[in-house]
Amino acid sequence: MTDLLMKLGPKQRKGSKPRCHWLTHGSAEQVAVRLTRLIGPWGYVSARDHWMPEGFENTEEAELHKAPRLLDEKIGRQLRDWWLAVISSRPKTPNFDIASTCIVTGNGGSRPGLLLVEAKAHSKELNDAETGKRLATRATANSRSNHDRIGECIKGAALDLTKETGMDWSLSRDRNYQMANRFAWSWKLTELGFPVILVYLGFLNAKEMRRDKTQKPYANHAEWETHVKAHSRPLFPETVWDKSWTLHGQSFILLI
């Protein structure tokens, strides 16, 4: 166990990061069973599917614009060009803690789609990740252009989600940024023809992450669910969670 953890960086060996690698560690059959438990009865993962990371062997997390194991390269380029106004030599887009191909059940049938997982292990982790991303005064012109484009992408997703669901969505680049971009990317995938299951995964009893009263590991599912819903409340109604919606004819499933 220690030898496997040593494959991660010193700051990556605690909290949600190593637990995601444990979740995807083992035979394809073992991993498929674990991932299916996250999404049943909304879908399933088989041993023939592909996921990132791959345990402790391939520890790279998924940036969907460059994840050919999960998406065709043409789709990856479409995602990159939608999100970024200026393409650098090494463009960065949101990375998911776990991403996997899967079968999504819904809309009267079963279709190949994507499972996307955002994972946390303690009360402060979600809050820290959600700090609004504001542009530094010394940012380059390219950075400012990308900053503006990202804002437009998230706003566009919110407008369409409001139209498609009949509920008020307020996704914003400048408020709860990480959650906003996770939902915007999930929305975009449905527009490109993919059903999506987005899971907010809370790991319980990560005792090594306890830091006085400001940083506590989650003791049970109720604590995690309450925290996620409180944090998502400025962005969309709580009733969005744990349901299957239809966007662009595709299943859009949001789970805690």
- 10 Å CB burial of residue 225 (0-12, 13-18, 19+) is middle
Question: Mind listing the pLDDT tens digit for each residue in 31-61?
Answer: 999 999 999 999 999 999 999 999 999 999 9
Q: Looking at residue 45, what DSSP letter applies?
A: -
Q: What is the pLDDT of residue 134?
A: 57
- What distance in Å separates the CA atoms of residue 215 and residue 77, rounded to the nearest whole number? 39
Which long-range contacts (C-beta less than 8 Å, at least 24 apart) are formed by 71-75?
71/114, 75/192
Q: Where are the beta strands (DSSP E) in the chain?
A: 43-44, 51-52, 62-63, 95-96, 98-106, 109-120, 196-202, 243-247, 250-255
Question: Mind listing the pLDDT tens digit for each residue in 86-115?
Answer: 998 788 899 999 999 999 997 767 999 999
DSSP letter string, 136-200: -TT--HHHHHHHHHHHHHHHHHHHHHHHHHSS----BTTBSHHHHHHHHHHHHHHHTT--EEEEE
Q: What is the pLDDT of residue 119?
A: 97
Q: Is the pLDDT of residue 183 over 80?
A: yes
Q: Is the pLDDT of residue 152 over 90?
A: yes
Which long-range contacts (C-beta less than 8 Å, at least 24 apart) are formed by 224-233?
224/120, 224/256, 225/256, 227/123, 227/126, 227/202, 228/126, 228/200, 228/202, 228/256, 229/256, 231/126, 231/127, 231/130, 231/176, 231/179, 232/176, 232/179
The pLDDT confidence band at residue 131, using thresholds 50, 70 and 90, is: very low
Please state the separation of Cα 176 from the chain's center in Å.
14
